[in-house]
Amino acid sequence: MTTITELWKEFQLPIRDALHFADGQSFDVSLTPEASSGLTIQAPFDLSGMLADDPSWTSSVDGLVETDLGGRGLLWGGEGSYGSEGFIARLTTDRSLVWAIFFMDSNPFDQIHLINNVATFVSTSTVEITVDIDDPRAPIPMM
């Protein structure tokens, strides 16, 4: 089991603008409103190393909106422990993590719009993040 899947069992995510995959890969991200996806994926980092310095640097997450993908799982968006935090995630049918993206300053995500394999998550402060649900690192064409 990876560090992120252990955290997810308790509905916890690290307090860092980052994309996490269940296989243990983590990448820094930044909100980039001018990008077609609304974010920029940056360098990978070692989540276990980060949490070794401060294991309590996590936020409890709670879903506000979900979209059922049938037998393919679900998309989930919501809030962290603090009012400015938001997260988006893809989960399996049993709510295990596929991937999650956490933002410290997006505000909670309360809308999901899905067209084919592309989902747009919208926060209460109108931050929009658009991702390919199979791989949020994949480029999104300008619409």
The predicted-structure confidence for 52-80, as pLDDT tens digits, reads as follows 989 999 999 999 999 999 999 999 999 99
**pTM listed for this prediction:** 0.96
The continuous run of DSSP H or E covering 9 comes out as helix 3-9
Residue 142 clears pLDDT 80, i.e. is over it: no
CA distance 53 to 121: 31
Burial of 23 (0-12, 13-18, 19+ CB in 10 A): exposed
Residue 111: pLDDT band by 50, 70, 90 thresholds? very high
